[in-house]
Structure 1
Amino acid sequence: MELRRAFRLNGFVMVGALILLIVAIAVEVHGLHNRTAHEAGSPTALGILLAVTILAAVLVLSGFIVVNPNQAKVIQFFGRYIGSVSESGFHWVTPLSSRRGISLRVRNFETQKLKVNDLDGNPVEIAAVVVYQVVDSYKAAFAVDDYEDFVTTQSETAVRHLATTHPYQTDDAGTPSLRDGAEVAGELTVELRERTLLAGIEIIEARITHLAYAPEIAQAMLVRQQAAQVVAARSRIVEGAVGMVGMALDRLAEQGVVELDEERKATMVSNLLVVLCGDRSAAPVVNAGTLYA
């Protein structure tokens, strides 16, 4: 069954109609009472009219509802779904029906920090924030037991699945990792929309809010990351130093400053690389003799 609009009337119009009905019946009761008193007849007709009046008033009064902004009322008549009212205001619907309020406001919640193994088998801690809204009050009320618990459970399941299908980080530019925030958030949002569609829920946004290695391997991974950064920095330094040495030899040869044989070139290259690649400032040493002495 799909969402449909319930039969409704303006509540203030029905209040006016109820007042007119009560006044008309009161006038009739008063006239009947006078005729009964003069004719000394039975008050049975008067009692029946009063009972019908009270019953009609109760039925009419049971149909009034108030719908707040961004709220829907799901209407059931003796267990049968007859529609929903989402327009805010004072309404009159089918009497003796039951109503269940469903909030249409935008909601958000953050999942617990989940411990799960990533694609590489490394244990990581991950959590996400999910922003959602009810768009189908019928499905939210009847398709699942509790749509809030349903969204919470499906969100945690989707986050676990996301973590197991992506590595925490990778050097391959073509493989997305959990640290690629925008791309991972898009995948999580799409998966959650598919999971919660049957409950009448629209996922507006889902985004990773916490991502870290599990405590038992966090220190080892920190050392690994530091080592990788050191290697990368050293590689960059060596690459730059080799370029500078080559440029120096080319300039000396072009300008004819000095003629260097292969042994002197090797010595010069060695000295320049030590100076350029060393962690500390080099102390200059003046050679007063010859290169070969």
Structure 2
Amino acid sequence: MSSVLFDTPGPRARRRNLLIGALAVLGIAALAVHVVLRLRDAGQFTPAMWEAFTYRGVQRRILIGALETLKAFTLAVVLSLLLGLLLAAGRLSDHRFLRWPATALVEFFRAMPLLIMIFALYNTGWLRSCVATAARFLRTEFGRTGNWLADNFAGPTLWALVIGIALYNGSVQAEILRAGARAVPGGQREAAYALGMRKSQVTMTVVLPQAVRAMLPGIVSQLVVTLKDTSLGFIITYEELLYAGKLLAQNTATPSGYPYIPVLLVVGPVYIGMCLCLSAFARRLARRGRQRRPGPRIRSVPRP
């Protein structure tokens, strides 16, 4: 059966494609072997390079870096989703005084490089003063709990990273939600208006739930990007996972050099594992949403 988009390849084309695929696999394998041999000759796989990971202090430092990464990621996700909802609602508004500022903010934060935004926030005095004021308030008003909150959540590096990531990813999430809202059939809005619902009720109870369900893959993909963006915190010395790996690689001297490749082989899979867990959670959430979706109710009509 021929495809609509392209002609079905014949026997010669299939053999040619198979040959090209085999050559590509052999080329990639040869390149990988060459890289591994070069790293082995450079001493990156010697036991001395991996000895640092056997120390409890190094393991604890990597674990703390992973926890700091998850903390920044959680705060950035909450703020970016809230900002995305607000900006999406503003862009969908019929009022120009709401739609135009929301559009300007979305376009500005999407165009601004994230690294520049994080670095600019880190070097602003108002952010440091706000964080210091919040820390004093927590320590004064909440006692031991306030001290714990101030020690763990009242750092200028943390909030410079979180706010920068939230502004950028919130503007992207706003566009994703707006696209999902535009994809909702107009007949559902008209039916809701016919029932006497206001526009805010239609948006919150009819449009947004369907937009989130339809755009869940895009939302999750952007959440994965948010998780990876936390690695930019090492620029402002935020002690996340990449910064912990960088310190370990720079301060561990061996006869064969510094263990950059072993650190990369340890830190990289941790990031990959966190992203895979996030994607698996999103797939499970989407599956549960489809299972809970009520089906149409068919009422039987009695025969005369």
State the TM-score, normalized to the length of structure 1. 0.26
Bigger Rg, structure 1 or 2? 1
Q: Which has the higher strand share?
A: 1
TM-score, normalization by structure 2: 0.25
Which structure carries more relative contact order (alpha carbon 8 Å, separation 6+)? 2
